[in-house]
Amino acid sequence: MSKKVAIICEYILFPQRIGGMDRFYKAYDIAIKKSGFEPVWFFKSAIPFEFYKEFDIKSAEGSNLESFFLDYCDSNNLYYDIVITHFLKPISYFFKEVKKRNKPYIINVDHNPRPLGGFPLKKIIKNRAKGLLYGKYVDKLVGVSNYTKEHILNDFGFQLKNKTISVYNGIDVSSCVKQELDRDENPINFIVVSHLRESKGIQDLLNAISKIDSGLYLNFKVDIYGDGPYKEELLRLQSENQLENVVNFKGNSPKINELLHKYHYLIQPTYMECFSLSILESLACNVPVITTTVGGNPEIIKDGINGYIFEPKDIGRLSEIIKNIITGEIAITNEVNIEIEKEFTLDKMVRKHIKLLTCI
């Protein structure tokens, strides 16, 4: 008899955005069915569209996803052999409630970035208490980078070490069109792919550009793909610094992997990150990355080799990097896609996640 699997994702599906996680979900759904499991997907919100047509999806319609899942199981007298979560808190009371229902094997995949400077003391104490009280209800904790794995243990306690592993994110390299631009030609085209919230640091990018001599503005442009609650503030900064002819807000796109090759560099000035799929996709398209030292970024970006890396909020350093690129003082000349195609593929990621189930 097939094992029933519930996959709970604090994630919103909509057709204007098909990113790395969407492609993982689709590849995983195919693989888990081939392995003899029956998956049901629970999302925070889901607009039905073609990409997800083969999925069995339950949508919380924007309500609390954890409560929705528990109520759905109780109302329909459902049980699952395995429960997998993505983007939920790694350890919480929720998992105790899930474990009450036929004692499923629980896997939590932690994609959550930690705040710059760490949690306040009160939060640290609460996390350690949760680790002691509820850590026993989660059977496997999966960090999407070594950074994430280390922080799970730092946050919730080293008593969880034997059940905590890292499985790196991966991307569909076959869908990535390769960059063939001359990286020292002008104008230099920069791309940003990001949810527009304060923690992504796009405001630092705008301030960094404002420090560059306006006489160089004809030598580069920056296209920002994404949307989010911080967009109005970013538009204000764009206007205040008179950057309308340099910075363009493009909104969401479901085809970022097909656009990246048209750009010379990706910029990601984030304050918080686990292991960025946007960075992996950019490198797979042979597009070097300019980003910060947070999260798992240093595990993949090597300064001067496949990109440039700087401390978060260091606006002066970011401005210097951009200026030196557009004036030709520095450039990444290496092919930057080779390691990604070997080590960080979607197939490899899916196989490792499937192995977690077949070992049960």
Residues 132 and 184 grouped into a single domain: no
Q: 246 near 272, Cβ under 8 Å?
A: no
Number of domains in the chain: 2
> Of 60-64, 237-241, 273-277, 300-304, where does mean pLDDT reach its minimum?
273-277
pLDDT in tens, 113-172: 999 888 999 999 999 999 999 999 999 999 999 999 999 999 999 999 999 999 999 999
89-116 residue pLDDT tens: 999 999 999 999 889 999 999 999 999 8
205 and 224 co-located in one domain: yes
pLDDT (0 to 100) of residue 195: 92
The predicted pLDDT at position 136 comes to 97
Tell me, yes or no, whether 101 and 246 share the same domain. Answer: no
Q: Residue 78: its pLDDT value, please?
A: 92
Q: Name the residue among 145, 152, 147, 148 with its Cα closest to residue 167.
A: 145
What's the confidence (pLDDT) of residue 183? Answer: 83
**316-350: b or e for each residue (b if 16 or more CB lie within 10 Å)?**
eebbbbbbebbbeeebbeeebbeebeeebbbeebb
Quick one: 232 and 332 in the same domain?
yes
Same domain flag for 162 and 185: no
Please tell me the predicted confidence (pLDDT) of residue 88.
Answer: 97
Question: Are 166 and 197 in the same domain?
Answer: no
Same-domain status, 125 and 247? no
Condensed to tens digits (0 to 9), the pLDDT of residues 188-212 reads 999 999 999 999 999 999 999 999 9
User: Which domain does 124 fall in, by range?
Assistant: 4-170+345-358
| Residue 309 shares a structural domain with residue 272 | yes
126 with 234, same domain: the answer is: no
Confidence band of 288 (pLDDT split at 50, 70, 90):
very high
| 186 and 92, same domain (yes or no) | no
Per-residue confidence band for 181, with pLDDT thresholds at 50, 70 and 90? confident
For residues 12 and 82, state if they share a domain. Answer: yes
pLDDT at 2 over 90: no
Residues 38 and 149 in one domain: yes
The predicted pLDDT at position 47 comes to: 87
Whether pLDDT at 1 is above 80: no
Question: What is the number of alpha carbons within 13 Å of residue 278 lying toward its C-beta?
Answer: 25
What is this structure's pTM? Answer: 0.91
Per this entry, what is the length of the chain? 360
Does the pLDDT value for residue 359 go beyond 80?
Answer: no
pLDDT of residue 315: 98
Q: For position 262, what pLDDT does the model report? A: 95
List pLDDT tens digits, range 210-239. Answer: 999 999 999 999 999 999 999 999 999 999
- CATH number of the domain that residue 318 is part of: 3.40.50.2000
Mean predicted lDDT score pLDDT of the chain? 95
